[in-house]
Structure 1
Amino acid sequence: MTPEGAVLIRIFKMESELEVWKVDRSGKYALLKTYPICRWSGKLGPKTKTGDRQAPEGFYRVSMGSLNPNSQFFLSFNLGYPNRLEAALGYSGEALMVHGACSSSGCFALTDQNIGEIYAVLQAALKAGQPSVQVQAFPFHMTPENLAAHRDDPNVSFWLILKRGNDIFEVERREPKISMCDRRYVFDRDFGGREPGNPLAACPASTSRPEPSVDAKAMKDLNRSEALLKLPPPKSIAYQDGGMHPQFRALLKKFGEKELAERVSEIKYPISRPDAALADPYRN
């Protein structure tokens, strides 16, 4: 990899992880580093309105103008929520960021050192000419096991749409092309140069052919999910208010809120809702 090589970011709420991927010498994306998320807020599921404390789920673009070197949380970059689809659906909210410290009200918070590394990688790629960086934000790793475990969640149909974009990336190690029509994301569609303008309108006719390797993964995962659905459902995971990576939960338990705040950030910003962080996830 080179410092100026193209970058892509993947976020997984349930695992409280952020992955940075870069294009390597093969021309495909390879994992550069996985970062633990100190705090995210809300529950599994997309953000739909201001004040719901939900961290977003979906596909976003980060440009040079999204970077904020003067953030109150050390450094930050704006995810671009609501994107075009979310805005058309009437979703509201603003300034949904990835930033330093360990406090969240709809954002993804990491240590100052980690956001510094991520910020530098983004900045180098954007300065080198990458127009924008795709960010993929998921409720969890899109495995058959996780989807089967959340079979009764009202967001399952939305997550299955996200999974198609996930599958394209995992199989081909490239950035999926994102279009928005028919009130949803669609992936790798060729609309004859007429990209859908209205995310709420029906998708135009497409000449794209399904990718066999991606379809094969989808079918394999579907078969595995159907087998899992025959088993008794696992106990559900619930969140009082978001989650925290296990390494930070352990530090919070051991040292308390004040010392953890000092360890993760020079600004020592208070940990958001520490009691909820320790309680989550809990099993019914």
Structure 2
Amino acid sequence: MLNKITLGLALLLALSACKDGRYAGSTRHLAPIPPETLSLMATEGVSPSDPILLRAYKKEAEIELWKRGADGRYALLKTYPMCRWSGQLGPKTREGDRQAPEGFYAITPASMNPNSSLYLSFDLGFPNAYDRSLGRTGTHLMVHGSCSSQGCFAMTDEAISELYAVVREAFAGGQRAVQFQSYPFRMTPENLARHRQDPNMAFWKNIKEGADRFEVAGTEPVVDVVGGRYAFDAGADASTADAVARKRADDERQVAALVASGTPAVRLVYEDGGQHRAFRETMMAAGDGLGEVSRPEALASGPREVAMPAQGPVALVGRREPVRSTAAPKPSGTSVTVAERRRLLETFAAAGDGPK
């Protein structure tokens, strides 16, 4: 009986998060930042040692790298396609729910695992103070390689190698913690209008306050927890607070206009998370080089788009978003610049498979 209990506990822990061991003897954590990225930094007037900030979006399956310039403001440098994330849109609430977290997290030097069994990894620091205030549980929530997720943001090995190097060099330059902002989707009026009836909307509006603060001021928001909610920059100057309030009001007007024009309320329901659409063709090819993609069968059909009633409970039935074959080029697995991402999205749009 004791052996069965021990085995059961081990299985539960194995399913709870992206379990990361140690791969001693590797020097992959010492890989330099690729020359193309160094050249891009030089063009933008920033250096490897300048502070960084990361932003993740589940629906779009992308992680953005932002660099702080000489003026103290952050600017978008590159966008990396996610190879895999698991669960649904919405926050992580308990150990074993396979959810990738949403909210504001801090990566520290102690978070870095140079000997990761998932190629390379860094921990996001879940649960943070907000999660703990709500009794949320979970461990080992990371960004890592190997393209396999049980609650993490999984990249290709090539992509995590670059991200790891960029974070490492920022720490070497004196940055003490890297803010990691995690969202269900880009906080646009279009997305907010379409997902307005989702049960997580109150939480999403709360984290949008931090997104608005960052996008208006261009500086890292100071994050606190007050009354079970995120609070941002309580001591911000009046001009910044006014600009953030204007942006929020403008977004709300746009949402109201979209709703009035007939934008349907929907909820996306995934079999088990998603991946960047640029990888879909790659994953289907033999010898795709993505590694052991977790639960590929859950990715094949895309999420179900569920029509949400104006009132009442959600019925998890509805049509699936079609997954069309595209003419998109096979991704390198590393990253795309802002211009490259625009060209990629134009390719999808031409094929009738643009962002939704």
User: Is 1:103 aligned to residue 148 of structure 2?
Assistant: yes
Q: CA deviation at 1:282?
A: 3.2
SS at match of 1:32: strand
- After superposition, the C-alpha distances for 1:157-200 in whole angstroms (9 at most, x for unaligned) are 0000011100111112110110111001000113xxxxxxxxxx
C-alpha distance in 2 between matches for 1:142 and 1:160: 9
Among 276, 280, 283, the alignment partner of 2:302 is 280
The whole-number CA distance in structure 1 between the counterparts of 2:148 and 2:277 is 16
Partner of 1:211: 241
2-structure distance, mates of 1:164, 1:51? 29
- Is residue 244 of structure 1 aligned with residue 275 of structure 2? yes
Q: CA 1:169/1:232 → structure 2, altered by over 3 Å: closer, same or farther?
A: closer
**Preserved contact between residue 189 and residue 208 of structure 1 (Cα < 8 Å):** no
1:237 Cα deviation from its structure 2 partner: 2.5
State the TM-score, normalized to the length of structure 2. 0.70
- Distance in 2 (CA, whole Å) between partners of 1:278 and 1:33 is 27
Matched-pair contact (CA < 8 Å) for 1:241–1:280: no
Corresponding position of 2:255: 225
* 1:170 partner amino acid: E
2:214/2:221 contact within 8 Å kept? yes
Which residue in the other structure is 1:51 paired with?
96
Alignment partner of 1:4 is 2:49: yes
Q: How does 1:79-118 map to 2 (within 5 A)?
A: 79-118=124-163
1:236 shift after superposition: 3.9
One-letter identity of the residue aligned with 2:111: S
Task: Name stretches of at least 5 consecutive residues in structure 1 with no aligned partner.
Answer: 191-206
Q: Which has the larger radius of gyration?
A: 2
**What secondary structure sits across from 2:230 in the alignment?**
strand
CA distance in 1 between counterparts of 2:172 and 2:136 reads 31
| Equivalent AA in structure 1 for residue 296 of structure 2 | P
Residue 166 in structure 1 maps to residue 208 in structure 2:
no
TM-score (norm 1): 0.88
Distance across 1 between alignment mates of 2:147 and 2:203: 28
Cα–Cα, structure 1 residues 232 and 35, in superposed 2: closer, same or farther, change >3 Å?
Answer: closer
**Other-structure match for 1:13:** 58
Following TM superposition, by how much is the alpha carbon of 1:74 offset from its aligned partner in structure 2, in angstroms?
Answer: 0.5
Q: Counterparts of 2:294 and 2:300 in 1: how far apart (Å)?
A: 11
Paired with 2:151 and 2:263, the residues of 1 have a C-alpha distance of 33
Provide the C-alpha distance between the structure 1 equivalents of 2:82 and 2:198, rounded to a whole number of angstroms: 23
In structure 2, give the amino acid aligned to 1:94. Answer: T
Q: Is contact 1:46–1:55 with CA below 8 Å preserved after alignment?
A: yes
Percentage of identical aligned residues: 48
Instruction: Please list every run of 5 or more consecutive structure 2 residues that lacks an aligned counterpart in the other structure.
Output: 1-45, 306-318, 320-356
The 2-side partners of 1:232 and 1:118 are apart by 37
